[in-house]
Amino acid sequence: MARITASVYTSHVPAIGAALDLGKAQEPYWQKVFSGYEFSQRWMREHTPDVIFLVFNDHATSFSLEMIPTFAIGTAAEYAIADEGWGPRPVPKVLGHAELSAHIAQSVIQDDFDLTLVNKMDVDHGLTVPLSLLFGQVSAWPCKVIPFAVNVVQYPIPSGRRCFMLGQAIRKAIESYDEPLNVQIWGTGGMSHQLQGPRAGLINKEWDNHFLDRLIADPAGLSQVPHIEYVREAGSEGIELVMWLIARGAMSDVARGATADAAGGAAPRVTHRFYHVPASNTAVGHLILEET
């Protein structure tokens, strides 16, 4: 059977991708950001999964604002890099795992979560920047990726609670796939940032760090936090953080039991934790949680 071995969380600041692509990674400003990923890149080389289930948000790139699915699973064999206005980032195309996608869609939809199936999708910085941060500049991504897009762009967006429960359903789906695949689930976006209006530039270090503490130790409690608190405390784009709850909900300690919502396995190991301000307009947060 397929197994989830770890969950990885990271911000997706587009300027990070530009810094890498334009050869600015060694500049002191960016060095401070990338230093938080040096351990992670070594760890990823030693723990490269077969497939990453990558929870991210499209920024009105692939879906535009004409049609916005709440939860959309990529079911394609490959995904092109999106042109976000300055041309596509010079990174490798993303190879999918269409069979595992189809299995997850079947299981999760039958488990009462209505997903949109996306057979063709270009992927923007929400997906490519996390890959670059964890794998560096490579000629091909070292594993397959299933893109899973969440609407955090236009209200109404899904609650943290819905995201957490969806993560539990995704775990059940992955662990019932009949092939011994090593799967990681990534939650991306955040941390606190606001790109618009009178509060543009908002950063809330204390709230962000409390979010990281609770994501590790009290994810079910954290999933009850309402949208208004994210927006008030972490800024209008800080709401991207609800996506981290999908990845956290897929870890074994919070697994949904067969008969009740009983907790399952041991708490995950905190393999790496990093927090840094600033990167562009955004606080950067990053965690690696491993199944023990």
Q: In whole angstroms, give the CA distance from residue 96 to residue 73.
A: 11
> In whole angstroms, how far apart are CA 1 and each of 30, 50, 77, 196, 262?
40, 13, 21, 45, 22
Among 126, 134, 145, residue whose Cα is nearest residue 13: 126
* Shortest spacing between CB 57 and ligand DHB, in angstroms: 8
* Shortest spacing between CB 20 and ligand DHB, in angstroms: 15
- Which residues, 6 or more positions from 258, have their beta carbon under 8 angstroms from its beta carbon? none
Binding of ligand DHB by 59 (CB under 6 A)? yes
Among 70, 116, 271, 280, binds ligand DHB (CB under 6 A): 280
**Helix 160-174 and helix 98-110, axial crossing angle in degrees, nearest 10:** 120
Q: In whole angstroms, give the CA distance from residue 67 to residue 57.
A: 14
- Burial state string for 6-24 with b = 16 or more CB within 10 A and e = fewer than 16: bbbbbbbbbbbbbbbbeee
Rg of the Cα atoms in the chain: 17
From 6-14, 76-84, 131-139, 217-225, span contacting ligand DHB (CB under 6 A): 6-14
- Reply yes or no on whether 125 is catalytic: yes
Site residues for ligand DHB, 192-251, by CB under 6 A, read 193, 195, 237
For residue 156, is the peptide bond before it cis, meaning its omega torsion is within 30 degrees of 0?
yes
Nearer to ligand DHB among residue 75 and residue 282 (C-beta): 282
- Reply yes or no on whether 286 is catalytic: no
Nearer to ligand DHB among residue 50 and residue 237 (C-beta): 237
Binding of ligand DHB by 282 (CB under 6 A)? yes
* Shortest spacing between CB 284 and ligand DHB, in angstroms: 9
Q: Which of 125, 210, 276, 286 is catalytic?
A: 125
Among 14, 147, 238, 268, binds ligand DHB (CB under 6 A): 14
Among 6, 8, 10, 12, binds ligand DHB (CB under 6 A): 12
- Residues lying near ligand DHB in the complex (CB under 6 A) are found at 12-15, 59, 193, 195, 237, 280-282
Provide the annotated active-site residues: 125, 193
